């Protein structure tokens, strides 16, 4: 068990954000955390990353309680891949990836030749070594996301936490990033990602953790837990599951309940 | 395909920039250090009593290896006792203010942060005004300015520590409040000060000047400078990582709050020491790191030394103008504002492009 969360509860100034959350992941798994905005996905991640230490329950990272580890120790087990965003200062891609090696070097030194090799290896693994010399802010959103993944790989942590890795990306880049993530999981990384797209979870995840108002409403393999009821609970809309040769596809109802007539009319037009 | 070509071109030019930058990480500081040395020798020869540059070199060398005397005693006194302390002081103050600016900008993750943002200058001004009011000696003024500068920033850090929410924002807000409070205090001291001698002394101190610099002041500033610079140099890579944001830095094994506190304390030691000997010299700490970032990039481990050298060079040149342009000396703080503010407007209009 690389990551085990048991009865995790967390409150922000008397407001319960997480209630009795329990789940676990094994090496080489992708766990997709699903749920609408504000259900506590981010808070869950922040607890695992050690930002919030006054939680109840336990978070075991490779068997050690997360809150007892300092940021340096925790960072050797868990790497965080944020959504790409602007920074106050600009760095080259190589420097950006080198930052991932920070916890492996003496805090009073600077990364040297060995760390540079690590950084190039990390870039090569995700097929982005040609970007090494570019300046980070000049890259497209998809490239930036790849570089941030490379930075996490350079950190040499086995658990990767990704905060909505495909948001702000175009359709092609979304798929490319997810393919990369799948490869990394197959290589032995444990990936925890939050997502707003249940279809992606269905395609790429080994397990799904569905959250509603701070609690877990479903945890298991996509085949076991994904159904119309769950999707209705999470998103409040009707979504049909269509089983096909290309996996299970989600078909959301295109028009709201109040306006079914318009949908029927459209279908009627299309039939003709 | 066309996109790919454009992309390839962009990357090629980027790669060229990076290789160029890497080579410059070595050459830029060396070139700047040589410029500084040449600048210092020229500055030593400039003044109302002109001393040829070659004699300046011989006088200085004579201190290390005895040379045949080709200069007059007056020349030696002017160069060694009058000009040398002042020129060393200009370099040290420029270096300290720029190092502080670069450090503050890094740990506040904001290229607009300047050394006086946490009220270090306001504290020093209050301390100096208080010392002048109490009739202290020049050295007493320096000491009190130094202590009040440290005290005010210390209070800012403590206030920000107890406030909830964003630490960076708290620090800046607490700094603004403290600065305003201390300025009010300074104004009150000016009000009650003797208008015939104390008030002009306070006003003149606040304009900033290196005119009174003596070797004793140089010794006084060197120790806090060294103490402040050592942590900054040692933590250079951690500071680089911190610039990309507290949370990301933390997930990479950096302790943001501890690191920021150490850097602020060290940098404040630098400002307090320099402000207490030179008075208020603005703009250097804001503008020099900006220029340096354009020359060498944002990595703190290289930005820090380049900023320090640029700052020393800049203040050395400005101090030459200050003492040589007119019969009467122009306070250096006025000159740096005259140069710094328009330059900054130029930077704003041209658009912030931090390479």
| Helix%, strand%, coil% for chain B, nearest 5 | 80, 0, 20
- pLDDT-based confidence at B346, cuts 50/70/90? confident
Q: Which residues of A touch B247 (CB under 8 A)?
A: 49, 51, 80, 82
Flag if B250 and A71 touch (Cβ within 8 Å).
yes
* Rounded distance between C-alpha atoms, residue B153 and residue B208, angstroms: 20
| Of the partner residues B237, B243, B248, the one whose CB lies closest to the CB of residue A110 | B237
Q: What is the pLDDT of residues B97-127, one digit of tens each?
A: 999 999 999 999 988 889 889 999 999 999 9
Proportion of chain B above pLDDT 70, given as a percent: 92
Look up the ipTM and state it.
0.89
Q: Is the pLDDT of residue A212 over 70?
A: yes
Q: What residues does each domain of chain A span?
A: 3-227, 237-272
Interface residue ranges in chain B relative to chain A, Cβ cutoff 8 Å: 10-11, 14-15, 17-19, 21, 106, 109-111, 234-238, 240-241, 243-245, 247-248, 250-255, 293, 297-299, 301, 354-355
Flag if A99 and B244 touch (Cβ within 8 Å).
yes
* Rounded distance between C-alpha atoms, residue B242 and residue A242, angstroms: 47
Flag if A89 and B243 touch (Cβ within 8 Å).
yes
Q: Is the pLDDT of residue B202 over 70?
A: yes
Q: Which residues of B touch A112 (CB under 8 A)?
A: none
Query: From A163, which residue of chain B is nearest by alpha-carbon distance?
Result: B248
Q: Is the pLDDT of residue A20 over 80?
A: yes
CB contact set of B220 (below 8 Å; sequence gap of 6+): B139, B142, B273, B277
Q: What is the pLDDT of residues B56-70, one digit of tens each?
A: 999 999 888 888 888
Q: Which of A260-264, B138-142, B225-229, B319-323 is predicted least confidently?
A: A260-264
- Chain centroid to CA A145: how far? 12
Q: Which of A40-44, A217-221, B140-144, B347-351 is predicted least confidently?
A: B347-351
| Helix%, strand%, coil% for chain A, nearest 5 | 40, 25, 30
* Rounded distance between C-alpha atoms, residue B37 and residue B15, angstroms: 33
| Of the partner residues B18, B111, B251, the one whose CB lies closest to the CB of residue A92 | B18
Which pLDDT value is given to residue B21? 61
Size of interface A-B (CB pairs under 8 A): 107
Report the residue of B20, B229, B252 to disrupt the A interface, i.e. the one with the largest count of A CBs within 10 Å. Answer: B252
HEC states along A44-96?
Answer: HHHHHCCCCCCCEEEEEECCEEHHHCCHHHHHCCEEEECCCCCCCCCCEHHHH
Q: Does A102 touch chain B (CB under 8 A)?
A: yes
Q: Is the pLDDT of residue A88 over 60?
A: yes
Query: From A52, which residue of chain B is nearest by alpha-carbon distance?
Result: B247
* Rounded distance between C-alpha atoms, residue A272 and residue B23, angstroms: 70
Q: Which residues of A touch B238 (CB under 8 A)?
A: 102, 107
Query: From B9, which residue of chain A is nearest by alpha-carbon distance?
Result: A134
Q: Which residues of B touch A96 (CB under 8 A)?
A: 244
Q: What is the pLDDT of residues A124-154, one digit of tens each?
A: 999 899 999 899 999 998 899 999 999 999 9
Which pLDDT value is given to residue A83? 86
Please give the sequence-ordered ranges of beta strands (E in DSSP) within chain A, or none if there are none: 3-12, 15-25, 30-34, 56-61, 64-65, 78-81, 159-162, 190-195, 207-212, 215-220, 239-244, 247-252
Q: Which of A54-63, A190-199, A250-259 is predicted least confidently?
A: A250-259
- Chain centroid to CA B182: how far? 21
Which pLDDT value is given to residue B15? 52
Domain B85-350 coded CATH 1.10.3470.10: yes
Average pLDDT of B193-214?
Answer: 89
Average pLDDT of A156-183?
Answer: 92
Query: From A13, which residue of chain B is nearest by alpha-carbon distance?
Result: B164
- pLDDT-based confidence at B3, cuts 50/70/90? very low
* Rounded distance between C-alpha atoms, residue B302 and residue B319, angstroms: 26
Q: Is the pLDDT of residue B355 over 60?
A: no
Average pLDDT of B241-252?
Answer: 94
Q: Is the pLDDT of residue B11 over 70?
A: no
Fold (CATH) for A3-227: Rossmann fold (3.40.50)
- pLDDT-based confidence at B25, cuts 50/70/90? confident
């Amino acid at each position: 068990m690389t990551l085990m969360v048991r009865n995790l509860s967390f409150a922000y100034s008397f407001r319960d954000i997480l209630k009795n959350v329990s789940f676990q992941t094994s090496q080489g798994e992708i766990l997709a955390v699903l749920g609408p905005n504000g259900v506590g996905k981010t808070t869950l991640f922040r607890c695992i990353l050690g930002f919030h230490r006054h939680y109840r329950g336990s978070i075991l990272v490779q068997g050690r309680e997360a809150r007892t580890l300092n940021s340096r120790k925790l960072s050797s087990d868990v790497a965080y891949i944020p959504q790409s965003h602007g920074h106050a200062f600009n760095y080259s891609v190589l420097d950006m990836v080198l930052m991932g090696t920070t916890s492996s070097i003496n805090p009073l030194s600077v990364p040297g030749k060995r760390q540079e090799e690590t950084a190039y290896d990390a870039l090569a693994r995700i097929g982005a070594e040609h970007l090494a010399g570019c300046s980070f802010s000049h890259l497209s959103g998809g490239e930036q996301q790849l570089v941030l993944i490379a930075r996490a790989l350079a950190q040499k942590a086995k658990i990767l936490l990704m905060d909505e890795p495909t948001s702000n990306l175009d359709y092609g880049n979304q798929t490319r990033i997810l393919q990369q993530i799948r490869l990394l999981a197959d290589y032995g990384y444990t990936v925890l990602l939050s997502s707003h797209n249940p279809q992606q979870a269905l395609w790429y995840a080994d397990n799904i953790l569905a959250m509603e108002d701070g609690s877990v409403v479903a945890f298991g393999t996509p085949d076991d837990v994904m159904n119309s009821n769950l999707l209705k609970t999470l998103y409040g809309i009707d979504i049909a599951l269509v089983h096909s040769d290309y996996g299970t596809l989600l078909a959301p109802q295109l028009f709201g309940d109040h306006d079914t007539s318009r949908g029927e009319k459209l279908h009627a037009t299309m039939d003709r | 395909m066309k996109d790919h070509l454009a992309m390839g071109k962009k990357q090629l030019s980027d790669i060229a920039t990076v290789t160029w930058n890497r080579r410059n990480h070595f050459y830029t500081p060396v070139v700047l250090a040589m410029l500084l040395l040449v600048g210092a020798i020229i500055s030593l020869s400039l003044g109302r009593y002109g001393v040829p540059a070659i004699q300046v070199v011989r006088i200085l060398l004579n201190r290390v290896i005895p040379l045949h005397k080709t200069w007059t005693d007056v020349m030696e006194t002017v160069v060694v006792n009058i000009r040398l302390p002042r020129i060393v002081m200009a370099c040290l103050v420029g270096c300290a203010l720029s190092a502080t600016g670069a450090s503050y900008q890094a740990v506040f993750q904001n290229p607009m942060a300047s050394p006086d943002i946490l009220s270090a200058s306001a504290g020093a001004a209050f301390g100096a005004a208080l010392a002048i009011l109490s009739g202290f000696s020049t050295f007493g003024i320096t000491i009190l300015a130094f202590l009040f500068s440290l005290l005010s920033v210390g209070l800012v850090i403590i206030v920000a520590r107890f406030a909830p929410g964003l630490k960076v924002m708290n620090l800046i807000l607490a700094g603004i409040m403290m600065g305003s409070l201390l300025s009010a205090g300074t104004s009150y001291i000016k009000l009650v000060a003797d208008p015939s001698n104390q008030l002009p002394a306070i006003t003149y101190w606040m304009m900033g000047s290196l005119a009174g610099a003596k070797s004793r002041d140089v010794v006084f500033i060197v120790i806090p400078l060294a103490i402040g610079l050592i942590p900054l140099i040692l933590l250079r890579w951690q500071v680089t990582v911190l610039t990309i944001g507290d949370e990301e830095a933390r997930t990479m094994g950096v302790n943001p709050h501890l690191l920021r506190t150490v850097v602020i304390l060290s940098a404040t030691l630098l400002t307090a020491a320099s402000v207490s000997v030179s008075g208020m010299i603005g703009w250097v700490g804001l503008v020099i790191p900006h220029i340096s970032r354009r020359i060498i990039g944002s990595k703190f481990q290289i930005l820090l030394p380049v900023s320090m050298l640029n700052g020393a060079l800049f203040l050395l040149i400005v101090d030459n103008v200050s003492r040589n342009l007119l019969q009467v000396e122009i306070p250096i703080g006025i000159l740096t504002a005259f140069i710094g503010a328009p330059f900054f407007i130029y930077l704003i209009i041209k658009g912030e492009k931090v390479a």
